[in-house]
Chain A
């Protein structure tokens, strides 16, 4: 890893031309040892502050005077008087000269010509990365991104342009929908996104984008989740020191970093469903490891499972979990819901075999190709497996802000057109599938058609009761597969239709046309899903912001958890705070709301801290995290984080009484739930029964 040290003899100049401020540093070194860069201090102040960083290069050192000149820029609609630059000599307050273009300082002009200023909204770190990528290629950019506080890059699996996780400062309602740009929120003035380096230029040219900055590594701070819920009151209640000892916590997820210090000596077994092996019992897929020396053969390359396990059961003084002495059984799943069900069965069967009376399984996962009513097969398996001492906890989902659900009420003999926008797939990754799952009551009778952006449409397809109910049609290069079976071909006795678009899907506005051919009014619910999230398919009208808890969150037998915000800020290196646009003591904006499609079961059950939660980081994780604390710990957000908090609490409850049933545990949590004023204290579609508070 290349080192960065601040060694400086530089002079500075700054010019503002219209709405762009240019800052230049120039000087001379006695040799060619260093490369010089500006680095923006990653805080929320404006105008930005900068540091001049010297990076030691490898290779032969030549003792010859070496001049350097580097520049950076940022946008400002208002005139800027001064810019602060920090180097080894201290802070320098640089006066900004207001100039027209032709008066710009000679040095800056020379550099601008050389540099090509199309990236004027980019922070210095991003500019540096782009420069490395364009001049020296992928490997240079990735290596140079590695040092502390630089923006980390990743290479997509299968190769392609490096991607960076960045902050986007933009208009609050800006709709960011560009190839190579994957935004984590659809609203807000500050958003995080994973962006291909090739897409940065186009993104920076959008009028609604004000600034693009790289993500950074943060200073560790105590997490507030335990404080907010007064967890320690519960742990130490009645002079007990509850730690989850003798309780098994099962994690069905992306795996676990078995060598992480947070879990030392407590993992009992790992079933890796993704690799070849002898499987478990009649399930002859995957490999079970019970010898801890072999655990590292199963790798958590995504990091999600490790983080979740750490929240539930990590043992660490600063970032420990809720039940730090619970034992762990881990299933690294391939995310087929049938195999997730097998994973639950495995965990409970192992608990039986080990004669452990208490076990709780965490499911921080979900999907929307189902009826959202708890009748899908995985939900039913959860209902069957749940009993005294055998608890399942599921996350509500993170789709509250995503337009993935449309609902229409149609009178007889009428047709409603439901518009949905399908974004263009990134050029370097293929996503040939967009899926829609639609549901209406058994006594309804609907005909479905699909219209493409170019106006071409399929014929209306009725319910097909005889023979194969799937019809295939092609519009241009898009293959449309529509399945309209009778109500008998579903778990819940309702009509479920399935629409799949495949191939080279025309990006743009499609319509799903629904004609009510029955004699009664009918309500139709449709959910969209895009495997891998390479594209998005967002409804443009008839949007229903409710009913976004899919499977397994809608399972009656599961305790379903939404996410609550206990923290929205962290201190950065140097002590400066960064604040995310999230309101503390409120529900997370992304936490999926209920109700379930038929209103019963009531979901979610409860909420727990799920925003900016610090927990264990997998050494093998290739997934970028905006907020990495160290090699061992990282911050993540979502109902995936809230869910294991409750899993841990279930473990503490089961330590007290291993024979508690799911109903008893749910009732206990509901009794501890707190919904803030002025909301009514009955069940709420986002809060459930409230934040668990002891």
Chain B
């Protein structure tokens, strides 16, 4: 009898082990690691809303506004992955959402998990939104950036000839930064530098930069429901892409540009950010957002730029080390050949 119980026990354990083994063997690589991939053939077929609910039940505490603020519940996975849930004491599938996989491990990672690669790029057509929110002038308390649409011809300030109207503007999504981002020079493509960068102690301040929306807060103000794409139509804004890690680096040709400088802050975003206002998909934007003529409209009147170009030409003619343009640029950029856009103005 005792032997019978022993045999039954061993057979039962062996059966569970066999189930675990074969279940694990059939899992994808991502699942074995506990990760989740949106790009598998089976997942790609699903509608986003079949798993992700908007809003999730925890939105009040997690976000303060209706949002997708949590992982999908078990029901979203169970239909296809039932056996994975019982694969061993710490099923690998649980690690996709749970900090401590296992029957008692209720704690989940923050959503979205910041330590994972992004699988989606975000499409935002600035061109379409310009019709709605581009042109604006906010009532200007001193020292707060107000946006005035100006042209490439120099226009004296103040620019209002009557009471400034109040409209929505780019600042709905792009606020002045209060913390310094990691900024790197945007190296011109297909160009070789003329010299090593000269020593430079330039240090930008947070106010030089504007930030990007990091979540749905600004989008859902209009697009939560009704306006297409609505908040449940994730795929209209989020496109599957090769997984990447966001460096959060700000790349600029002109790190020295200060958005908060009074003559800059008095102008409208569109004065300089011309290309973006006509862009429907940032992924297609190859050139700098700000065309050179936007800068030259103000900064060439005192021969600021012409002087530097002339100095560069002098050093080249004299076969001296190339003069590095630092009026607008840090030496990391100023050491490159003068592009055609800078010539002849």
Do A and B truly interact? no
* Residues in chain A within 8 A of chain B (CB atoms): none
